[in-house]
Amino acid sequence: MALKFRTPPRTISPRPVPEFFYGWRNVYVDTPDGRRQLEQIPLTAEEALHPEEGYVMPENTEHARLIDSINEMLKARYANTPDMAVFSDLVIAWDNPQLKTHCPDVMVIPNVRERDKKRGQFVVAKEGTRPIFVVEIVSASSKEADRVTKVGQYARAGVREYVYVDSWRRTRGEHWEIAGFRLMGDHYLPMLPDEDGSLYCETVGLRMGLKDGEVWMQDYETGEYLLTNLEAQAARRLAETRAAEEKAAREALEVRLAEMEAKLRGASL
């Protein structure tokens, strides 16, 4: 009987990463003719995971839109709570020497002094407080970092709740996922989703979910949905239009009643 030999599996080389896949940092270099010029140095995966102030990490339009929407909803929620800060794309330096910096897409921090002052980074040891809630929008360059690496690192940093939103395309269309983790002791446990796939985020008192590629947030106690700035402006304009229409209708009715009353007085004379 002839022996059959199994063909050894092919070795698949990892796909090369484009030079500026993770972003870049600007540095001044000395040229041979004695001048100094600004050059862009590509970021490594490690530098993108632990950025410093001044690093440039481009975002696609959908990624930026989702960050802006979540940031606006949370800022509006805490607009009248001066010690609750909502920051987006701000470098944070932890008070744990084993942790390098991060730059969350959105984070909520309580007990912040001078919330609106200009900051180049948020230094936990100096500020005396840390984020209780962090949201990351996963991009092609950050999938492993956001879905795996940061789960352990944010837990060690003491972030009480961490949520990420991810999407990817398949033959049947685009697939969306929202996942969350809650700190129990010194490690994270996954948040259990509701029947509609939403998560209850107890640190901010909100339900958070996805619908048609949009992130929604709902106040857990009142049931009211949080609005972005544009949605709030549209709601105010609609309310003002309705109020003006109701006022005009009342004034027209008062004029009509006055006319009828005048006719009745004339007829009685």
The CATH number linked to 69 is: 3.90.1570
Please check whether residue 13 lies inside any domain of the structure.
no
Clarify whether residues 140 and 213 are in a common domain. yes
pLDDT at 248 over 90: no
Please check whether residue 33 lies inside any domain of the structure.
yes
C-alpha–C-alpha distance, residues 105 and 108, integer Å: 11
Contact 103, 88 (CB under 8 A): no
Clarify whether residues 189 and 254 are in a common domain. no
pLDDT at 199 over 90: yes
Adjacent-strand bridge partners of 145: none
**What's residue 268's pLDDT?**
66
Clarify whether residues 93 and 215 are in a common domain. yes
pLDDT band at 11 (very low <50, low <70, confident <90, very high): low
pLDDT > 90 in the chain, percent: 56
- The answer for residues whose C-beta is within 8 angstroms of residue 120's C-beta and 6 or more apart is 53, 91
**What's residue 59's pLDDT?**
79
Please check whether residue 10 lies inside any domain of the structure.
no
Please check whether residue 125 lies inside any domain of the structure.
yes
| Residue 52 φ/ψ, nearest 5 degrees | -120, 165
Clarify whether residues 125 and 173 are in a common domain. yes
pLDDT at 6 over 90: no
**What's residue 237's pLDDT?**
56
**What's residue 14's pLDDT?**
58
Lowest mean pLDDT among 22-26, 98-102, 143-147, 263-267: 263-267
pLDDT > 70 in the chain, percent: 87
C-alpha–C-alpha distance, residues 189 and 248, integer Å: 57
pLDDT at 229 over 60: no
| Residue 174 φ/ψ, nearest 5 degrees | -90, 135
Total residue count of the chain as it appears in this document: 269
**What's residue 251's pLDDT?**
74
Give the residue-averaged pLDDT of 2-16.
57
DSSP class of 17: P
Nearest to 203 by CA among 111, 110, 105: 110
Encode pLDDT of 58-106 as tens digits. 778 888 999 999 999 999 999 999 999 999 999 999 999 999 999 999 9
Tokens 């004339």 label which residue?
Answer: 266
pLDDT band at 249 (very low <50, low <70, confident <90, very high): confident
Q: Which of 14, 34, 58 is the last residue of a domain?
A: 58
Clarify whether residues 66 and 192 are in a common domain. yes
Pairing of strands 199-201, 187-190: unpaired
Clarify whether residues 74 and 122 are in a common domain. yes
- Token pair of 2 as six digits: 């002839």
Q: What is the pTM of this model?
A: 0.78
Encode pLDDT of 108-166 as tens digits. 999 999 999 999 999 999 999 999 999 999 998 899 999 999 999 999 999 999 999 99
Please check whether residue 15 lies inside any domain of the structure.
no
- The CA distances from residue 71 to 3, 39, 193, 246, in Å, are 65, 32, 22, 35
**What's residue 219's pLDDT?**
97
If you average pLDDT over every residue of the chain, what do you get?
Answer: 87
Clarify whether residues 78 and 200 are in a common domain. yes
- Token pair of 88 as six digits: 């987006």
Clarify whether residues 189 and 154 are in a common domain. yes
**Domain limits for position 91:** 59-226
Residue 89 CB neighbours (<10 A): 15
Clarify whether residues 110 and 179 are in a common domain. yes
Give the residue-averaged pLDDT of 13-28.
78
Clarify whether residues 76 and 172 are in a common domain. yes
Clarify whether residues 162 and 235 are in a common domain. no
E strands of 150-230, at which residues? 161-170, 173-184, 187-190, 199-201, 206-211, 214-219
| Number of domains, the chain | 3
- Looking at per-residue pLDDT, the higher value among 18 and 157 belongs to 157
Give the residue-averaged pLDDT of 224-237.
69
Please check whether residue 4 lies inside any domain of the structure.
no
Clarify whether residues 126 and 238 are in a common domain. no
